[in-house]
Structures are given as structure tokens and as C-alpha cells.
Structure 1
């Protein structure tokens, strides 16, 4: 590849507020010149060394701002050797009238529909599949998601995480940490599970549960009700939303990561960002037994549970009994393949080179590969 090729990353989320594209943009600067095109939500602007950000205004009606976004994006595409579009509804409209530029575009899907209503999931995933088929180069967050949407030839751009300091941790008390959205996660069940565990040990085991993130008023109310019901006011801390680059100290203080998502068909094939973040901070993880979690949770790095309070309590019992067996160094070292830097160096950059036609055989669509690595 010629030195310092220009690469464009595209999302509708403002730069710095969608974790994966932000991290990939930062890591790609080691290989090429990176530009990021996104909407301007008038949030505080995030900067990253080496990343040029082009903002599109959200002024005007829904139709007006969407038309503007697509029009401006199409005007920028000729300036780049390859463009990685993180899928948004209507992404295929970019393909109209751009001729051979289509060969330089990759459309990547970070999530299928996780709507709780089956008919709405079906409609959204059907539209998603149709849009993705319009692109020559397809990419998905996991092999399972690509297959579940009916694709056979595609790239896998896996979920990653940033490496966090992993200090030697004491397990004199259990300090649980959850980072992420509350939306449709049923987190009150994890609080109830901690309450059951706490009651069994009648004050013999000290606990702390820090929950970082946000959700609807109803979800927060259910969580607070669980805290009150089990007398955990001094145990559970709900911090609200914290910017990702400010979460590091919380990861360093905790000694158990919580990755609690319902075990449903629509979450089953969706990798969970927080799980990888916990691994790369050296934390053992208590995780619900989705398909993707079963691939990566092993005895050295955590325990699998059902999505019920009783199972969460049992998972805590296992973690507590085995607390001296966990090694932060081992957990981090065996999860090094999930760092954003490693993924960019070994998967994303080689794939973009193929898209740009710099390797023999690049005129064929990338073939799906299994992204399951030993842990």
C-alpha cells in the first residue's frame, strides 16, 4: 500500500460518542491518514490526534438533514482510497450515482435489531439485509450475526476494547462494576441477585456494586426499587453516564465485571463491549450465557449464568469461592487479541488493503471467517 493512504470513516453518531468507530479511527492513524464524517449533535467535541473530523449539520427537518448528510458524504467520497461506513438507516442511498466509487466502500454492521417486539425486529432486519446486499463489501461485528442475517461472504470486524491498567487486586470485598446502557438489560435482576447473595452471607462478605450508565426513568425506578427492597443503599452506587475515557479509574478499583444482558434470540449473537473491556482491565466477569459469551467466558476469566436473580447470586458464589484463583495478568494477556490495536493491525487494515485492490485476489469479495479465538 502506498504510504499514508486516505481513509474515511462514516457514522451518524458524533465523533467520540460511538465507541468502536472512535477507537478504530484512532488506531488507524498509525497506518494511514484518517478522516471521520458524522453528524454534529452539538455535544462537547472530542478530539483525537491525527483524526480530521468533518461535521454535517442537523439543522432543518428530518428529511432535510438526512438528504444533506448523504449529499455531503457523496461529495467527499472521491477524496479517499477507501471508506468504511458504519451502517445507518438509508446507507444504501449513498450508492446512487457514484459509479466505480462503489468499489471503495465498505458497509459494516455493529448490531442487528434488538427491539423487544418480534415483528419490528423482523422488519428492521429485513431492511438491514436489503441495504447490506446493495454494497459490494460487507462487514459484520461477528460471524454469527452475518450468518443470522443470511450472508455467506463478508468480513468480520470484531468488537474490541482498550487496554486498561490491571493493578493487583484484593478480594477482601467484592467490588462489582457494570458499564453500559440500562435499556432492555433488566439490570434490576442483577441487583436482586446481589441482594440474595448478601443475605446468605449475613454481613460476612463486604460488597460494592458500581453501575455506570443511563436508561429510561422506568428502568432507573426498577433498579432503585430493587436496591431498597434488599437494603443495598450503602452497597449499590449508580453514577449516571460517564464518558468512556473517564471510566478507567472505576475499572482499576473494581474486581468483578458484570455483563448482564437477557438471553434472547436477538441478543444471542450480539457481542458485548463491556465484556472485552473487563478482560483487558484484568477483571473476571460474571456474564449471562448468550451464544457470544459462551465463546469467550472460560474458567480462568469468569462464570456464565442465566438471566435470573437466583442465577446471578449463584454466579457470585462461584466468583467468591474462586476469588484467589483469578489472575489479572493472565486474564489480560489471554485477551490481548481483543484490543483495538491488535484488531486494526491484524484484521481491519489488511482488509482495507484488499478493498483498495493492493493485494492479488482483491477483485473477489472477502470470504467469511470464524472469529472465535482461544482464550
Structure 2
């Protein structure tokens, strides 16, 4: 019999298809008996040692499957010592009728606010999220900035993490840029245009390749192809389409520059960018737009900050190219070790979950804002 406490993780994404909850579930198995509750999207089922997965069917109408999900969730929550619920619209419906002792063992974590470019939709979603989060005693956010942006003063910070991708030292005889992620509202076509401007300035003097992994709307993908044609980059830019996360490592190992390109807007500003951390832990210097969260982690040893325009992308790539001999994959990876999922779980998350399990502790002790986890001098 295991003496570990039993932990329930909850998302609506199928297990293995939302990176943070999936990775945290795996790492938490060293500390808890982990169960994962999610919808079944009829995608291939991913298994992980030590993680028990309970699926909820999505059959029937929108209303029927949502009611089923919540009914099943409310039934199983009392069986667990602590529940970590990754926010979805309607999450607070798990609370009515729960006794205070049970409610005090439920944490709601926000991985993202709305990032749609439609202001009305974004504001409505964020207002609803804020209202629901007020119902939870234990709140958690992906960054201190995001929690404060929603108006909260006391909350846990469960930071964005990434997996370590081992690899040899990079050569910069040729540039190999890599973007991994969605195209939705990211303006990735601007990075292609920026590369075109950079290469036109250098003529044929630089060997370069740009691999873009991901997908988006038909319009977004066509904008990328339009820029490829405009700058004659058919032999330079590779569009792979969507690739499952566990198959991305070879691409990270072959590349030598990571592209972390999101528009600099108020709704992206406080949202940590997953790919930034993935690139760090693969040993890649990062060409990153200067959102608030990127400015907290990009330094001369690991990348270049830019504005979100094609011209700025070209200028940033020029700076990175000039500095290329100074980058060290080993140093970048080592100095980013704090961002690995394993480190975050062992030094922050496991301890926080155990704190929530001790109801005699006051809320102010159980919910501390992580002010700064960056080692001095990094």
C-alpha cells in the first residue's frame, strides 16, 4: 500500500494533449498517487506510468456532455485528499453543496486568460473567469503578473514549465530557426517576412532554414505561404503542420535558434510563452518579442528581444547572428534548469499541495505569491 496522498488533476483537455497538466501529472507521481479526470475526445489515448486516467464521454449535445462532466467530477472529488483543477468555464459549479472541509481541498489554477483579438469576447470571458475564481479559497495563476491583472492579491503561482531536451553543442555555420506552436492570432507570417528581409540584406552569404511546426486557420496558413512566395523562401521555410509534442524533440535538437513570436498586446503581455522555455531547455538562444513575461527571462546569454514587426524580426536576427559565437547550448540549458517541470514540482508545487492538505493553516500561509524564483545573477 502506498503512503502517498491521492491527488486529482482535472482538465477538459484529453490526457496528453494539454502540455502543462500532462507534464505536472507525470512529475507529481513521485509525491502523490495521481488520478487525472478529463474529457475523451476520441484521440489516441496516451498512457503514463503512475497516472490513472478517468475519461468522461463527450457524446450527446453540448449541454448534455457538460452536465455529465460536472456530475461525474462532483461524484469523484470527495474520494481525493486534494484536487487541482485547471480552469475551464463553469469550473466553480463543482463547489455548490460541498462542505467547507472539502471545498478547502480544491485548488483552481489559471493557465491563461483569453487571448482572442476580439475585445468583447475577451473581456466577457475574463470577467466571468474572475467571478468564478473568487468562489475558490485556493487560487493559482501561471504568473504573478496575470494574477494581479485579474485583481487578486493572494494566490499561488504555478509557473509555466518545459521539458529538458538533451543535445550536443550547436554549430552556427548555418542558421536553423524553429517555431513550435499554434498560428492562431500569433502573426507568424510576420516572422517569415522578417526572415525574407534579413536574407535579402545578406544576399546569398548566409545559409539559413526556418522550420515552422503548428497549424492555424486557412487564412493564417495562407498568409504564411504568401510571405514565403513573396520573398522566394520556398527552399528555406518548411511548414510541417501539427506534430505531437512527444515527436518535437528531434526538431529542437537540429535547430539552433528558437522563435518565440507573439504580438505585443495587453492580452499577451502577462501570458508566459510556452515555447520560450522549451527552447531554453533545449539549449537554443531565443528570438523573442518583448512581451512583459519575455522581458523577465530573455538576457544576452540566451537571446534577443524584439518588437512584433517584420522589420524588428530582421534586425533582431541580425543581432543574434552577430552574437552567434557567444551562445552556449550547455550554458543556456543549465541556467534555465529552474524552469523544468521536475524542478517546479519538487521545489514548489508538491509543497504547495501539501500545505493545502493542512486545513489548520491560515489562508495567508496556504496562499503565498511567489515573488521571484530567478536565482541572482542569472
- TM-score tier, shorter chain, comes to over 0.9
**Structure 1 residues 358 and 126: alpha-carbon distance in aligned structure 2, compared to 1, 3 A threshold:** closer
| CA offsets 1:143-183 (integer angstroms, 9 cap, x no match) | 00000000001000000000001311111110000000000
**Structure 1 residues 218 and 70: alpha-carbon distance in aligned structure 2, compared to 1, 3 A threshold:** same
Distance 2:120 2:174 in 1: 45
| CA offsets 1:298-328 (integer angstroms, 9 cap, x no match) | 0000000000011000111011101010011
Question: Which residue pairs with 1:221 in the alignment?
Answer: 222
The 5 A counterparts of 1:144-159 are 144-159=145-160
**Structure 1 residues 360 and 124: alpha-carbon distance in aligned structure 2, compared to 1, 3 A threshold:** closer
User: So what's the TM-score if we normalise by structure 2?
Assistant: 0.97
| CA offsets 1:35-60 (integer angstroms, 9 cap, x no match) | 00000000000010000000000011
| CA offsets 1:99-138 (integer angstroms, 9 cap, x no match) | 1310110000000111212222221111000000000000
Question: Which residue pairs with 1:212 in the alignment?
Answer: 213
User: So what's the TM-score if we normalise by structure 1?
Assistant: 0.98
Question: Which residue pairs with 2:168 in the alignment?
Answer: 167
Three-state SS of the structure 1 residue aligned to 2:182 is coil
Question: Which residue pairs with 2:259 in the alignment?
Answer: 258
Unpaired segments of 5 or more residues in structure 2? none
Distance 2:121 2:10 in 1: 26
**Structure 1 residues 318 and 288: alpha-carbon distance in aligned structure 2, compared to 1, 3 A threshold:** same
The 5 A counterparts of 1:34-183 are 34-99=34-99, 100-183=101-184
Distance 2:349 2:157 in 1: 9
Question: Which residue pairs with 1:290 in the alignment?
Answer: 291
Three-state SS of the structure 1 residue aligned to 2:326 is coil
CA RMSD of aligned residues (A): 1.3
Distance 2:153 2:366 in 1: 10
Count the aligned residue pairs: 374
Distance 1:348 1:371 in 2: 15
Distance 2:177 2:129 in 1: 36
Three-state SS of the structure 2 residue aligned to 1:303 is strand
Three-state SS of the structure 2 residue aligned to 1:357 is coil
Unpaired segments of 5 or more residues in structure 1? none
8 Å CA contact retained: 1:252, 1:281: yes
